[in-house]
Structure 1
């Protein structure tokens, strides 16, 4: 029987092993999972809410301006606030994902870690994580931009029918390319954090690990996303419905502010619940892929026996040979 010092047995993992482990590490260390997630999400959502309502509240015209009445300063302020909110949310997501990766890495050995210790482990890798995320976004924008430009060029040079004929296979190809990148880059963040690789090396590492396990990784990540989406929806929808009720017949800023706040609260609670689970599935899937590709379970078993459970010595076991 395989050793199980932490949240997973140290052998190739089944789907139930991965999902149970993703829940188990949350139960084993709630302060560094739910506690950390709550702090990050609440701060981010509060800031996003302030940025969303701030420009209009400052003019005392929430909900009062529509269509042509919406002034240029209000539009510019709203756009700037949305951009700032989006950037803040993205950075918070990167920070949260990185720290949860550290927590899962320790939980594999049955070792707890504090939020402060997780930050110390992540701090030196944070810029690499941000760099990877920027490259990922840029790649998506380039792919989408090329497809849109080609379709628009055909529409201008020819006609709408030609644009449709060319556009359909291009859009399908774009979807396939995005799905491939979504899967092939799955393990780059884990390689950055746990293996301490630079950005480009982490990307190559992810492609190498995924190459022979593409459909399994894609399927499990997709299933985890569906499960997380269902749970998040079940939590957030009642708050959204309550917000819509307050908006019925609203003729002042009060109900609009209350409705927006309720929606933000629902979104925050949903994210607090599903973010640790999603991060856990990704890291455990990365662990399972290394076990299948590199007999990494032997390394983990040796480390579980030899490394002191109350120190960070086990962290070095995630490093690849030659690092």
Structure 2
């Protein structure tokens, strides 16, 4: 998988777009014999036409990429999630082995809690949580980079292999990870405001004063739109980091320049993609929830261990396996679908502002060298 020249910044918005190329055809509205004729369709070497895209082209190109390049896309994502599960399980096992004696001491009958035994448990499993958080961040960044790497070839109509996508995504993962971490900090703003709102509610109930709740509610009203605006403004940064080999800060600045003037369009199409993911997820999960067997009735004389065993049998059966598989499939699809939509929007903005269509058309006509 070779890098296509021209993915980097090109002509600025409003700048010269160069002379008309041979693929442009006659001027729109004129036929070769002087009569009216419709303009020729834009070239389409891959999954999207190389022209400004509508919503149907954005979503259609995304679904076409997922269908034609299912093996590199979903194979890479599944392998990454499998690696994530292995890392988290290994970290949990190591943590348990290191504090097994303290855990057994607190699990004994009539055992009382003491910091001598509790502190090692908190430290060990806090380390597991931190390892899982960092591994999840790395895996999600890797999947975003793999989606951009696959779309790079899908737009040009070239094949993409699992190994080639893996190599290219792995080389860009550190930069995409930096961008993802900065975007996560942006999302922490409304989350922190929600936590403060929850705390202020209890303060209001206890002190009979509405001032804390009112102030935090106003803060939430200000912070949430600000975080949404910043998140959309920097939405193209992962694609920039993967396709233009830019660093995290340079990718954020580049995304802001591309989104400028198209914020509402980017927000609307991204929101539509999110709604599609939610609807599909509910369509998979709701039937499984309705099919969940009701817990067995508890008799007064039944022992606690028997009650717990009956509850586990009712809640963890064949349906639970189907639910786990369904959740994994929907998560896998969402982790691929959303980054692809954003990457297609990024290409669309570059076509509109920088005449990227010309570069892609020329690149698609070049024979890809054999590996």
TM-score, normalised via structure 2 length: 0.69
Contact 2:47 2:157 in 1 (8 A): yes
Q: What are the within-5 Å matches in structure 2 for residues 195-214 of structure 1?
A: 195-214=244-263
Instruction: Evaluate the alpha carbon distance shift between residue 38 and residue 120 of structure 1 in structure 2; reply closer, same or farther with a 3 A threshold.
Output: closer
Matched with 1:267 is 327
Structure whose CA Rg is larger: 2
Q: Distance in 1 between matches of 2:227 and 2:339?
A: 20
Q: 2 CA distance for matches of 1:269 and 1:117?
A: 24
| Correspondence list, 1:79-158, <5 A | 79-141=126-188
- Partner of 2:352 in structure 1? 292
Higher helix fraction (1 or 2): 1
Question: Is the CA contact (8 Å cut-off) linking 1:49 and 1:261 kept in structure 2?
Answer: no
Tell me if 1:2 matches 2:61. no
1:221-265 CA-to-partner distances (Å, cap 9, x unmatched) read: 011011012212323445566677689954379649947766543
RMSD: 4.1
Give the match for residue 319 of structure 1.
Answer: none
Match of residue 321 from structure 1: none
Q: Distance in 1 between matches of 2:291 and 2:93?
A: 19
Tell me if the contact between 1:125 and 1:193 (Cα under 8 Å) persists in the aligned partners. Answer: yes
Q: Which moved more, 1:72-81 or 1:88-97?
A: 72-81
Q: What are the ranges of 5 or more consecutive residues in structure 2 without an aligned counterpart?
A: 1-40, 298-306
TM (normalized to structure 1)?
0.78
CA distance in 2, matches of 1:78, 1:253: 27
Pick from 286, 292, 308 the counterpart of residue 367 of structure 2.
Answer: 308
Q: Distance in 2 between matches of 1:90 and 1:247?
A: 40
Unaligned runs of 5+ in 1: 313-323
CA distance in 2, matches of 1:47, 1:245: 35
Give the deviation of 1:106 after TM superposition.
0.9
1:24 aligns with 2:64: yes
- Closer, same or farther: CA 230–82 of 1 in aligned 2, 3 Å: farther
Q: CA deviation at 1:215?
A: 0.3
Q: Tell me the distance in 2 between the aligned counterparts of 1:218 and 1:171.
A: 20
Distance 1:85 1:182, change over 3 A: same
Count of residues in correspondence between the two structures: 306
